[in-house]
Structure 1
Amino acid sequence: MEKVDAIIIGFGKGGKTLAVDLAKRNWKVAMIERSDKMYGGTCINIGCIPTKTLVHQANETGCLTHGDKAAEKRHYTQAIDRKNVLTAMLRNKNYHNLADNPNITVHDGEASFISGNAVSVKLANGDSLELTSEHIFINTGARSIIPAIDGVTDSKRVYTSTTIMQQEQLPKRLAVIGGGYIGLEFASMYAGFGSQVTVLDNHADFIPKEDRDVAATVKAVLEKKGVEFRMNAKTEAIRDVDGAVKLTCHDTESGYSFEIETDAVLLATGRRPETAALNLGAAGIETDSRGAIVVDSHLKTTNPHVWAVGDVKGGPQFTYISLDDYRIIRDDLFGDHRRNTEDRAPFAWSVFIDPPLSRIGLGEDDAKKQGIDVGVVRLPAASVPRAHTLEQTDGLLKAVIDKKTGKILGATLFCVDSSEVINVVAMAMKTGQPYTFLRDFIFTHPSMSEALNDLMSQPMA
């Protein structure tokens, strides 16, 4: 059995950053990754980078194809090629960032615990090895949930968010099962490429976590782009037919059944932590009811030798959260132990539909449920000069303010460039600035950031 200073299972954002940091401190690090297509983790290979590359390409479709269906298909195939080139380049770069470091050894294989401080690795070449360390970090990410739908595993036309991006042919018709944020991002993207998109959502309310005025605006904009929504729609069966796939659905509100015929089906029904092969029980590592590894505020598991990083521990599934996990662990190992998961709120997130939907903090409904005396300000995106110069005037900007203190409780920006502008709001909130700070701030012109001047100047409702 080989002893090393650290074992990192999974080549994701937090794990790879930690590996380099430890190597700089002359730790001997073993990085274990079971797939040579996942060097760099979910973000680079099947998440943020490929999807946002395709989102950008989809947004250009109209200007490049002018509605020509044959041109749309060619553009989509070219977009997939560009995505593949980019991810391959980044994957190779990430591999060599670690493999070329004399203090890091990358093992291609699957790891499983054999005790509290040791793992066995089934190597890709058929061999195996055993490693032991007092510092083990799990960074295995999450995988798509395959719902229990009759025929779902038999169909040749059913895809996950990973596999659909490997298809070089644009589906004329696409059914998306799941109306959450991942489903909406793909629905918006494929509608932009020219597909006829239908979203089947088993909820009665559209994006129920959002305020109703925001949800209504998002739905209206996506419908204007051609996305059809079927709410209360439970998919019960999937079967391939000649050149297509047929879905049998049940309307849970009215009680009637209906069928949809389409060319491809995307499962957007959530993701669960990837822990099945780890044999966590052998290491005394507990998981919760959703399969996520249980950690404390310093990311330690129920085994004092093991930490969990990123999506595998549940919670927000964002690359920047995984990166912040690395910072917490770095402080736990080498700092004053002050950093923890409870001190990073608030943090922003974005859904890259067109235009992007970005959010931080409390919504209006949540703030009122907490009994806060709130003031609400709203601004149509069409009121912002920069939105007109970009010819993207759809959307709504909204902020929730504590009337007593003047502090910003939260903001939802559904507009062009919102994924950038929300970071300005985040910094104001993180530093405790009142809403008047953004109201009176001097922004460049024309920019979407200056919309915050006007938003925070609106009369509070």
Structure 2
Amino acid sequence: MKKFENMIIGFGKGGKTLAGVLAAAGQSVALIEKSPLMYGGTCINVACIPSKALEHSARFSQAQGGTFQERAVRYRTAIWEKRELTAALRQKNLEKAVSAGVKVILGTAAFLDDHRIRLEKADGTEEVLWGERIFINTGARPFLPPVDGLQSSRFVYTSETMMELETLPGKLVIIGGGYIGLEFASYYRNFGSDVVVLQDSDIFLPREDAEIAAAVLENLEARGIQVLRGIQVQRIRDREDGADLTVRTEYGERKLSCNAVLVATGRRPNLQELHPEAAGIELTAYGAVKTDEHLRTNVPHIWAMGDVAGGLQFTYISLDDSRIVKSQLLGDGSRTTENRGAIPYSVFLDPPLSRVGLTEAEAVKKGHAVKVARLPAAAVPKAKVLRQTNGLLKAIVDAETGQLLGAHLFCAESQELINLLKLAIDAGIPYTELRDAVYTHPTMSEALNDLFTAVT
């Protein structure tokens, strides 16, 4: 039985980063991955990187215009280019881990007890490995709701399998009005598909500021994307070239026909083959690995990082998780999930939606007296240069201290600008510093001059 000081299950961002750090410190590290198509983890293979590559290609295709057939050819090319990109990144990640001294092992892992892992290899053979410390980094998987006919349909895709579809669907129905569903709606609309989004809630983007959500919905509808709310999908039935969906609305049943169905109803922690119960590991009610602020489980020598730990499902959170664990093993242990500051995020629509901090309603609920700033994206010179004048910028400021409480940017290049505002919140910089700063021109950053001048 092979023994390692550190055994990391899952080649995701947190796992691969921690593996390199521990190997560089002279410790033995085994990095276990189920599939050679997942070297590097979810982000580079089936999520962030390939989807944003398609987003870039989709905007380029939309700008070119042309017939549906011409767009379909460009779409197929974009899929091929995306595959080349992810294959190159996989190989680079593998080479980097191996060169760092990490032992990369292929196989499906399952706990036998709190130190031993049974590894089932592709050829059917098994091996038992022992780890002094074990780190779970198995990520999350798409969730498929129990809809009649969904599992058996030939035209149903998840966010992962949709990016392998080489034929551009003339009509796409997306089940789920969350961030993933809306991103794909934006991509495929720009490629040339007719897109319908179905969501069960009556409220669009309920986590977002109401004004910003309204601006996003208006933009999507102006681009020809239908967003139907209060919809319950009853069943899916295949036909020769697509699927028919029967849905229930407040007015009764309705049938929708399409060439492809994307199910974007969230992701769940990926633990179904790992059997954490064999190691005595506690789970949350959500089915994630239960951890403390140091990402340690109830078993002292076992940690969990990334999506499987039940936190925010962003690759940069997984990266920061590796820093938290590193702080315990090689540092002073001061870094925790509680002190990493405000967490920004971006939804890659067209234009992108980015946010950090509180909404106006959340700030008021927390007892802040607030001032609010609003700026139409059309008022920003760089937005006019980019010919992306749709959108709205909004900021929430504490009326007494002048501290920035939250920022909501639905505008071109917001995914870059939001990081500056995260730093401002974490550093306690008053909004007046952002208002009076000198920015280069023409840039989207200089919109902060006008946005924070508008604080009232």
* Normalised-by-shorter TM-score class: over 0.9
Deviations 1:346-369 (A, max 9, x none): 020000011000000000111111
Q: CA deviation at 1:3?
A: 1.2
What CA RMSD, in Å, does the superposition of the two structures yield over aligned residues? 0.9
CA contact (8 A) 1:107 1:123 kept: no
Is the contact made by 1:149 and 1:236 (CA closer than 8 Å) also made in structure 2? yes
Q: Look up the match of 2:380.
A: 384
Where does residue 14 of structure 1 map in the other structure? 14
Give the match for residue 195 of structure 2: 197
Partner SS, residue 416 of structure 1 = coil
What amino acid maps onto 1:49 in structure 2? I
The equivalent residue for 1:110 is 108
Equivalence for 2:51 = 51
Moved runs in structure 1, 4+ residues, more than 4 A? none
- Any conservation in 2 of the 1:398–1:412 contact (CA below 8 Å)? yes
Counterpart-to-counterpart distance in 2, 1:204 and 1:219: 13
Secondary structure (helix, strand or coil) at the match of 2:338 reads helix
Identical counterparts, % of pairs: 49
State the distance in 2 between where 1:255 and 1:91 align.
49
Matched residue count: 456
Q: Partner letter of residue 295 of structure 2?
A: L
Indicate which of 125, 129, 132 corresponds to 1:131.
Answer: 129
Whole-Å separation in 2 of the counterparts to 1:77 and 1:185: 19
SS at match of 2:11: coil
Say which of 347, 350, 354 aligns to 1:351: 347
| Pairwise CA distance, 1:100 | 3.6
Pairwise CA distance, 1:422: 0.4
Separation (CA, whole Å) in 2 of partners of 1:291 and 1:255:
36
Report the counterpart of residue 173 of structure 1 in structure 2: 171
- Any idea what SS the aligned residue of 2:218 has? helix
Structure 2 runs not aligned, ≥5 long? none
CA contact (8 A) 1:176 1:199 kept: yes
Map of 1:152 onto structure 2: 150
Structure 1 residue 70: Cα displacement: 1.3
SS of residue paired to 1:341: coil
Residues 363 and 410, structure 1, Cα contact 8 Å, conserved in 2: yes
Following superposition, the deviation at residue 242 of structure 1 comes to 2.8
Compute the TM-score of the two structures, normalised by the length of structure 1: 0.98
- What secondary structure does 1:45 align onto? helix
Q: Say yes or no: does 1:342 pair with 2:351.
A: no
Q: Give the C-alpha shift of residue 25 in structure 1.
A: 1.0
For 1:75 and 1:199, the matched residues in 2 are separated by 23
Equivalent position to 1:362, from 344, 358, 361: 358
3-state SS, counterpart of residue 163 of structure 2: helix
- Measured after TM superposition, the shift of residue 38 of structure 1 is 0.3
> What is the CA–CA distance in structure 1 between the aligned matches of 2:8 and 2:225, rounded to whole Å?
42
Which residue in the other structure is 2:391 paired with? 395
Structure 2 CA distance, aligned partners of 1:76 and 1:287? 41
Letter of the structure 1 residue corresponding to residue 422 of structure 2: A
In structure 2, what is the equivalent of residue 412 of structure 1?
408
Q: CA deviation at 1:255?
A: 4.4
- The answer for the alignment partner of 2:63 in structure 1 is 63
What's 1:208 paired with? 206
Asked whether the equivalents of residues 185 and 352 of structure 1 are also in contact (C-alpha less than 8 Å), the reply is yes
> Per-residue deviation at 1:127?
1.9
Residue aligned with 2:112, SS:
strand
Query: 1:125 deviation in Å?
Result: 2.5
Alignment partner for residue 274 of structure 2, among 263, 268, 278?
Answer: 278
SS at 1:54's partner residue? Answer: helix
